[in-house]
Protein backbone atom coordinates (compact mmCIF):
# COMPACT_ATOMS: atom_id res chain seq x y z
CA UNK A 1 0.00 0.00 0.00
CA UNK A 2 1.34 3.42 -0.89
CA UNK A 3 1.65 6.04 1.87
CA UNK A 4 -1.17 8.52 2.28
CA UNK A 5 0.13 11.82 0.80
CA UNK A 6 -1.84 13.73 3.44
CA UNK A 7 -0.14 12.01 6.37
CA UNK A 8 2.06 14.29 8.50
CA UNK A 9 5.72 13.29 8.72
CA UNK A 10 6.68 13.10 12.36
CA UNK A 11 10.29 12.68 13.45
CA UNK A 12 11.14 10.78 16.65
CA UNK A 13 10.69 12.74 19.85
CA UNK A 14 14.43 13.10 20.45
CA UNK A 15 15.01 14.70 17.05
CA UNK A 16 14.76 18.46 16.68
CA UNK A 17 12.18 19.29 14.04
CA UNK A 18 10.61 22.13 12.11
CA UNK A 19 7.43 22.76 10.15
CA UNK A 20 7.73 22.52 6.37
CA UNK A 21 4.45 22.91 4.53
CA UNK A 22 2.04 20.61 6.33
CA UNK A 23 4.78 18.33 7.64
CA UNK A 24 6.88 18.24 10.78
CA UNK A 25 10.34 17.07 9.72
CA UNK A 26 13.68 16.56 11.47
CA UNK A 27 16.43 19.16 11.22
CA UNK A 28 18.92 16.51 10.05
CA UNK A 29 18.37 15.32 6.47
CA UNK A 30 20.10 12.71 4.36
CA UNK A 31 21.42 13.96 1.01
CA UNK A 32 21.46 11.44 -1.83
CA UNK A 33 23.64 13.33 -4.34
CA UNK A 34 26.43 10.81 -3.85
CA UNK A 35 24.32 8.19 -5.64
CA UNK A 36 24.58 10.25 -8.83
CA UNK A 37 28.11 9.09 -9.71
CA UNK A 38 30.42 6.12 -9.15
CA UNK A 39 33.11 8.64 -8.19
CA UNK A 40 31.85 8.63 -4.59
CA UNK A 41 31.93 4.85 -4.38
CA UNK A 42 28.94 2.63 -4.91
CA UNK A 43 27.22 -0.22 -3.15
CA UNK A 44 24.83 -2.86 -4.50
CA UNK A 45 21.18 -1.80 -4.52
CA UNK A 46 20.16 -4.21 -1.71
CA UNK A 47 22.91 -2.71 0.44
CA UNK A 48 21.67 0.81 -0.38
CA UNK A 49 18.12 -0.12 0.62
CA UNK A 50 19.41 -1.69 3.83
CA UNK A 51 21.23 1.54 4.63
CA UNK A 52 18.09 3.59 3.94
CA UNK A 53 16.16 1.33 6.31
CA UNK A 54 18.77 1.97 8.99
CA UNK A 55 18.44 5.73 8.41
CA UNK A 56 14.69 5.62 8.91
CA UNK A 57 14.98 3.41 12.00
CA UNK A 58 17.37 5.97 13.53
CA UNK A 59 14.97 8.83 12.79
CA UNK A 60 16.48 10.17 9.56
CA UNK A 61 13.18 10.20 7.70
CA UNK A 62 13.90 13.15 5.36
CA UNK A 63 15.79 12.45 2.13
CA UNK A 64 16.99 15.07 -0.35
CA UNK A 65 17.45 14.21 -4.03
CA UNK A 66 17.14 15.79 -7.48
CA UNK A 67 16.10 15.14 -11.05
CA UNK A 68 19.77 14.95 -12.10
CA UNK A 69 21.07 12.78 -9.25
CA UNK A 70 21.03 9.60 -11.31
CA UNK A 71 18.37 7.14 -10.12
CA UNK A 72 17.89 8.64 -6.67
CA UNK A 73 14.20 9.47 -7.17
CA UNK A 74 13.52 5.95 -8.43
CA UNK A 75 15.46 4.31 -5.59
CA UNK A 76 13.64 6.47 -3.05
CA UNK A 77 10.23 5.73 -4.57
CA UNK A 78 10.86 1.99 -4.56
CA UNK A 79 12.17 2.13 -1.00
CA UNK A 80 9.18 4.10 0.28
CA UNK A 81 6.86 1.40 -1.01
CA UNK A 82 8.64 -1.25 1.05
CA UNK A 83 7.77 0.59 4.27
CA UNK A 84 4.64 0.12 6.36
CA UNK A 85 1.88 2.54 5.40
CA UNK A 86 2.14 4.28 8.78
CA UNK A 87 5.92 4.81 8.60
CA UNK A 88 6.62 8.54 8.22
CA UNK A 89 9.08 9.45 5.47
CA UNK A 90 9.72 12.72 3.65
CA UNK A 91 11.02 13.04 0.11
CA UNK A 92 12.44 16.33 -1.19
CA UNK A 93 13.51 16.58 -4.80
CA UNK A 94 14.37 19.26 -7.34
CA UNK A 95 13.50 20.48 -10.79
CA UNK A 96 16.68 22.05 -12.13
CA UNK A 97 16.59 24.10 -15.33
CA UNK A 98 20.09 24.39 -16.78
CA UNK A 99 19.18 25.57 -20.29
CA UNK A 100 17.03 28.46 -21.48
CA UNK A 101 13.39 27.45 -21.82
CA UNK A 102 10.07 29.22 -22.15
CA UNK A 103 7.96 27.96 -19.22
CA UNK A 104 4.47 26.80 -20.10
CA UNK A 105 1.75 25.00 -18.19
CA UNK A 106 2.39 21.85 -20.20
CA UNK A 107 6.15 21.92 -19.67
CA UNK A 108 5.94 22.58 -15.93
CA UNK A 109 3.29 19.90 -15.42
CA UNK A 110 5.44 17.40 -17.33
CA UNK A 111 8.46 18.14 -15.14
CA UNK A 112 6.50 17.70 -11.92
CA UNK A 113 4.67 14.65 -13.22
CA UNK A 114 7.99 13.00 -14.02
CA UNK A 115 9.16 13.62 -10.46
CA UNK A 116 5.95 12.07 -9.07
CA UNK A 117 6.20 9.03 -11.33
CA UNK A 118 9.85 8.37 -10.47
CA UNK A 119 9.14 8.80 -6.75
CA UNK A 120 5.89 6.80 -6.97
CA UNK A 121 3.83 9.40 -5.18
CA UNK A 122 0.69 11.42 -5.77
CA UNK A 123 2.20 14.50 -4.14
CA UNK A 124 5.77 15.75 -3.83
CA UNK A 125 6.60 16.60 -0.23
CA UNK A 126 9.03 19.38 -1.21
CA UNK A 127 9.88 20.46 -4.74
CA UNK A 128 12.95 22.71 -4.90
CA UNK A 129 13.41 24.80 -8.03
CA UNK A 130 16.75 25.78 -9.58
CA UNK A 131 17.19 28.12 -12.56
CA UNK A 132 20.61 28.52 -14.12
CA UNK A 133 20.42 31.75 -16.15
CA UNK A 134 19.25 34.77 -14.18
CA UNK A 135 19.31 36.87 -17.36
CA UNK A 136 16.29 34.86 -18.49
CA UNK A 137 13.45 35.95 -16.18
CA UNK A 138 11.49 32.83 -17.04
CA UNK A 139 12.10 31.61 -13.50
CA UNK A 140 9.32 33.93 -12.29
CA UNK A 141 6.81 32.43 -14.73
CA UNK A 142 7.92 28.90 -13.90
CA UNK A 143 7.45 29.52 -10.18
CA UNK A 144 4.01 31.04 -10.73
CA UNK A 145 3.02 27.86 -12.55
CA UNK A 146 4.53 25.71 -9.81
CA UNK A 147 2.54 27.70 -7.26
CA UNK A 148 -0.59 26.75 -9.18
CA UNK A 149 0.35 23.06 -9.01
CA UNK A 150 0.97 23.47 -5.29
CA UNK A 151 -2.54 24.90 -4.92
CA UNK A 152 -3.88 21.96 -6.93
CA UNK A 153 -2.23 19.48 -4.58
CA UNK A 154 0.62 18.23 -6.72
CA UNK A 155 3.21 19.72 -4.35
CA UNK A 156 3.04 20.03 -0.58
CA UNK A 157 5.83 22.62 -0.19
CA UNK A 158 7.70 24.70 -2.76
CA UNK A 159 11.32 25.73 -2.27
CA UNK A 160 14.29 27.18 -4.10
CA UNK A 161 17.76 25.75 -4.66
CA UNK A 162 20.92 27.85 -4.98
CA UNK A 163 19.15 31.15 -5.57
CA UNK A 164 21.03 34.23 -4.41
CA UNK A 165 19.74 36.92 -2.06
CA UNK A 166 18.59 39.34 -4.77
CA UNK A 167 16.56 36.77 -6.71
CA UNK A 168 15.18 35.11 -3.59
CA UNK A 169 13.89 38.50 -2.43
CA UNK A 170 12.50 39.20 -5.91
CA UNK A 171 10.71 35.84 -6.08
CA UNK A 172 9.22 36.03 -2.59
CA UNK A 173 8.09 39.61 -3.18
CA UNK A 174 6.36 38.75 -6.45
CA UNK A 175 4.74 35.49 -5.33
CA UNK A 176 3.71 36.83 -1.95
CA UNK A 177 3.95 35.43 1.58
CA UNK A 178 3.70 31.73 2.26
CA UNK A 179 4.46 30.47 -1.26
CA UNK A 180 8.19 29.74 -0.91
CA UNK A 181 9.12 27.66 2.12
CA UNK A 182 12.87 27.29 1.81
CA UNK A 183 16.07 27.85 -0.14
CA UNK A 184 18.76 25.18 -0.28
CA UNK A 185 22.26 26.70 -0.19
CA UNK A 186 25.76 25.96 1.01
CA UNK A 187 26.53 27.03 4.58
CA UNK A 188 29.34 26.05 6.93
CA UNK A 189 32.05 27.41 9.18
CA UNK A 190 34.09 27.76 5.98
CA UNK A 191 31.38 29.17 3.70
CA UNK A 192 29.46 31.81 5.65
CA UNK A 193 27.94 33.63 2.66
CA UNK A 194 24.32 33.20 3.91
CA UNK A 195 25.18 35.53 6.82
CA UNK A 196 25.67 38.42 4.39
CA UNK A 197 22.30 39.15 2.83
CA UNK A 198 20.46 35.84 2.68
CA UNK A 199 19.75 35.85 6.42
CA UNK A 200 17.98 39.22 6.08
CA UNK A 201 15.93 37.95 3.13
CA UNK A 202 14.88 34.90 5.15
CA UNK A 203 13.70 37.10 8.01
CA UNK A 204 11.89 39.50 5.65
CA UNK A 205 9.91 36.76 3.91
CA UNK A 206 9.67 34.17 6.71
CA UNK A 207 11.56 31.48 4.83
CA UNK A 208 14.39 29.29 6.09
CA UNK A 209 17.44 27.59 4.68
CA UNK A 210 18.20 23.94 4.06
CA UNK A 211 21.99 23.79 4.18
CA UNK A 212 24.45 21.48 2.49
CA UNK A 213 28.26 21.43 2.57
CA UNK A 214 28.14 21.85 6.34
CA UNK A 215 30.91 19.28 6.84
CA UNK A 216 32.82 20.30 3.70
CA UNK A 217 32.79 16.82 2.25
CA UNK A 218 33.96 15.34 5.55
CA UNK A 219 36.94 17.67 6.04
CA UNK A 220 35.33 19.02 9.22
CA UNK A 221 35.99 15.83 11.18
CA UNK A 222 38.61 14.07 13.29
CA UNK A 223 39.80 12.26 10.16
CA UNK A 224 41.67 15.36 8.98
CA UNK A 225 42.97 16.63 12.32
CA UNK A 226 46.80 16.75 12.34
CA UNK A 227 46.89 15.42 8.79
CA UNK A 228 48.87 16.89 5.88
CA UNK A 229 46.98 18.61 3.10
CA UNK A 230 45.91 15.99 0.56
CA UNK A 231 46.74 16.11 -3.12
CA UNK A 232 43.64 17.60 -4.71
CA UNK A 233 44.21 15.40 -7.76
CA UNK A 234 44.40 12.22 -5.70
CA UNK A 235 41.94 9.52 -6.66
CA UNK A 236 41.38 9.03 -2.94
CA UNK A 237 39.32 12.24 -2.75
CA UNK A 238 35.64 12.35 -3.63
CA UNK A 239 34.28 15.05 -5.96
CA UNK A 240 32.90 16.84 -2.89
CA UNK A 241 36.27 16.81 -1.17
CA UNK A 242 38.02 18.28 -4.23
CA UNK A 243 35.43 21.03 -4.33
CA UNK A 244 35.72 21.91 -0.64
CA UNK A 245 39.51 21.59 -0.56
CA UNK A 246 39.68 24.31 -3.20
CA UNK A 247 37.52 26.51 -0.98
CA UNK A 248 39.45 25.77 2.22
CA UNK A 249 42.95 26.43 0.86
CA UNK A 250 41.91 29.00 -1.71
CA UNK A 251 38.97 31.24 -0.97
CA UNK A 252 38.87 30.74 2.83
CA UNK A 253 42.48 30.51 3.99
CA UNK A 254 45.19 27.86 4.04
CA UNK A 255 45.69 24.37 5.44
CA UNK A 256 47.47 25.59 8.58
CA UNK A 257 44.57 27.86 9.50
CA UNK A 258 42.18 25.03 8.79
CA UNK A 259 44.13 22.83 11.21
CA UNK A 260 43.79 25.58 13.82
CA UNK A 261 40.03 25.49 13.27
CA UNK A 262 39.94 21.71 13.69
CA UNK A 263 41.88 22.00 16.97
CA UNK A 264 39.37 24.52 18.35
CA UNK A 265 36.45 22.34 17.19
CA UNK A 266 38.07 19.33 18.86
CA UNK A 267 38.49 21.22 22.15
CA UNK A 268 34.87 22.40 22.08
CA UNK A 269 33.68 18.92 21.16
CA UNK A 270 35.65 17.33 23.98
CA UNK A 271 34.06 19.73 26.46
CA UNK A 272 30.60 18.57 25.36
CA UNK A 273 31.45 14.91 24.78
CA UNK A 274 30.95 15.39 21.06
CA UNK A 275 32.87 15.19 17.81
CA UNK A 276 34.31 17.85 15.53
CA UNK A 277 31.49 17.15 13.07
CA UNK A 278 28.87 17.55 15.80
CA UNK A 279 30.12 21.03 16.62
CA UNK A 280 30.36 22.05 12.96
CA UNK A 281 26.76 20.95 12.37
CA UNK A 282 25.53 22.58 15.58
CA UNK A 283 27.14 25.89 14.63
CA UNK A 284 25.01 25.98 11.48
CA UNK A 285 21.83 24.79 13.20
CA UNK A 286 22.16 27.48 15.86
CA UNK A 287 21.35 30.18 13.30
CA UNK A 288 17.66 31.09 13.43
CA UNK A 289 17.32 31.32 9.65
CA UNK A 290 18.45 27.68 9.25
CA UNK A 291 15.75 25.03 9.17
CA UNK A 292 17.91 21.98 8.66
CA UNK A 293 21.23 20.52 7.56
CA UNK A 294 21.54 18.02 4.71
CA UNK A 295 24.33 15.52 5.32
CA UNK A 296 25.60 13.63 2.31
CA UNK A 297 24.93 9.91 2.66
CA UNK A 298 27.27 7.37 1.08
CA UNK A 299 24.62 4.69 1.47
CA UNK A 300 26.08 1.29 2.19
CA UNK A 301 29.62 2.72 2.13
CA UNK A 302 30.07 5.14 5.04
CA UNK A 303 27.66 6.57 7.58
CA UNK A 304 27.77 8.26 10.99
CA UNK A 305 24.15 8.03 12.08
CA UNK A 306 24.65 7.62 15.82
CA UNK A 307 27.32 10.32 16.02
CA UNK A 308 25.26 12.86 14.09
CA UNK A 309 22.27 12.31 16.38
CA UNK A 310 24.28 13.87 19.21
CA UNK A 311 23.75 17.36 17.76
CA UNK A 312 20.12 17.33 18.91
CA UNK A 313 19.14 19.08 22.09
CA UNK A 314 21.97 21.49 22.83
CA UNK A 315 23.35 24.82 21.65
CA UNK A 316 26.87 26.17 21.57
CA UNK A 317 27.71 28.54 24.42
CA UNK A 318 28.90 32.11 24.05
CA UNK A 319 32.41 30.97 24.99
CA UNK A 320 32.27 28.23 22.33
CA UNK A 321 31.36 30.75 19.66
CA UNK A 322 33.99 33.18 20.90
CA UNK A 323 36.67 30.50 20.61
CA UNK A 324 35.61 29.77 17.04
CA UNK A 325 35.55 33.46 16.19
CA UNK A 326 39.23 33.78 17.15
CA UNK A 327 40.02 31.50 14.19
CA UNK A 328 37.29 32.64 11.82
CA UNK A 329 38.33 36.29 12.05
CA UNK A 330 41.76 35.29 10.71
CA UNK A 331 40.20 33.74 7.61
CA UNK A 332 38.78 35.25 4.43
CA UNK A 333 35.34 33.88 5.32
CA UNK A 334 33.60 37.24 5.41
CA UNK A 335 35.11 38.15 2.04
CA UNK A 336 34.21 34.97 0.16
CA UNK A 337 30.99 36.58 -1.03
CA UNK A 338 33.08 39.22 -2.84
CA UNK A 339 35.36 36.66 -4.52
CA UNK A 340 33.04 33.73 -5.31
CA UNK A 341 29.77 35.64 -5.32
CA UNK A 342 26.53 35.20 -3.41
CA UNK A 343 24.90 31.86 -2.63
CA UNK A 344 24.86 29.57 -5.66
CA UNK A 345 27.14 31.78 -7.77
CA UNK A 346 29.72 29.00 -8.10
CA UNK A 347 27.22 27.00 -10.15
CA UNK A 348 26.58 29.80 -12.66
CATH tag, 17-218+277-314: 3.20.20.100
pLDDT at position 213 over 70: yes
Please report the pLDDT score of residue 115 as a whole number: 98
Residue 42: band (very low, low, confident or very high) from pLDDT cuts 50, 70, 90: low
pLDDT in tens, 182-206: 999 999 999 999 999 999 999 999 9
Question: What three-state secondary structure class fits 104?
Answer: coil
Residue 161: band (very low, low, confident or very high) from pLDDT cuts 50, 70, 90: very high
Contact 339, 253 (CB under 8 A): no
The pTM of this model reads 0.93
Averaged pLDDT for residues 127-131: 98
Render the burial of 298-331: b for 16+ CB within 10 Å, e for the rest.
bbbeebbbeebbbbbeeebeeebeebbeebbeeb
Pairing mode of beta strands 23-26, 17-20: antiparallel
Please report the pLDDT score of residue 271 as a whole number: 97
- Ranges 18-27, 72-81, 136-145, 292-301: which has the least confidence: 292-301
Q: Where are the domains of the chain?
A: 17-218+277-314
Residue 140: band (very low, low, confident or very high) from pLDDT cuts 50, 70, 90: very high
Averaged pLDDT for residues 144-159: 98
End-to-end Cα spacing for the chain: 42
Residue by residue, what is the 3-state secondary structure of 297-323? Answer: CECCCECCHHHHHCCCCCCCCHHHHHH
Please report the pLDDT score of residue 301 as a whole number: 59
pLDDT at position 4 over 50: no
Averaged confidence pLDDT in the chain: 92
Hey, CA dihedral for 192, 198, 203, 208, is it positive or negative? negative
Residue 5: band (very low, low, confident or very high) from pLDDT cuts 50, 70, 90: very low
Separation of alpha carbons 138 and 56, rounded Å: 38
The phi and psi torsions of 184 (rounded to 5 degrees) equal -95, 120
Question: What three-state secondary structure class fits 280?
Answer: helix
Please report the pLDDT score of residue 179 as a whole number: 98
Please report the pLDDT score of residue 319 as a whole number: 98
Tell me, what DSSP letter sits at residue 347? G
In percent, the amount of the chain with pLDDT more than 70 equals 93
pLDDT at position 212 over 90: yes
Please report the pLDDT score of residue 8 as a whole number: 45
pLDDT at position 167 over 50: yes
Separation of alpha carbons 194 and 164, rounded Å: 9
> Could you tell me which residue, 4 or 14, shows the higher pLDDT?
14
pLDDT in tens, 234-288: 888 888 899 999 999 999 999 999 999 999 999 999 999 999 999 999 999 999 9
Averaged pLDDT for residues 226-235: 90
Averaged pLDDT for residues 225-241: 89
Averaged pLDDT for residues 292-315: 84
Strand partners, 290: 209
Please report the pLDDT score of residue 118 as a whole number: 97
Residue 159: band (very low, low, confident or very high) from pLDDT cuts 50, 70, 90: very high
pLDDT in tens, 52-109: 999 999 999 999 999 998 899 999 999 999 999 999 999 999 999 999 999 999 999 9
Amino acid sequence: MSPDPNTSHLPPRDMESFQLGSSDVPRLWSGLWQLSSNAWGTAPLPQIREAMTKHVEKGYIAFDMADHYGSTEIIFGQFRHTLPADQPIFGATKWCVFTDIEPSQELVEAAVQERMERMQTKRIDLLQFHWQNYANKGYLKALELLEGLKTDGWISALGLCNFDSIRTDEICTQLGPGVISSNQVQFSLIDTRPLHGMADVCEKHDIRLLCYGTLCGGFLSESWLNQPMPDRYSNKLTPSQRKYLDMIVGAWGDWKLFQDLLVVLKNIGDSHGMSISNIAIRWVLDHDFVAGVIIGARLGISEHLDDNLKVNGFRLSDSDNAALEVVLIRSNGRRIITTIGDCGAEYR
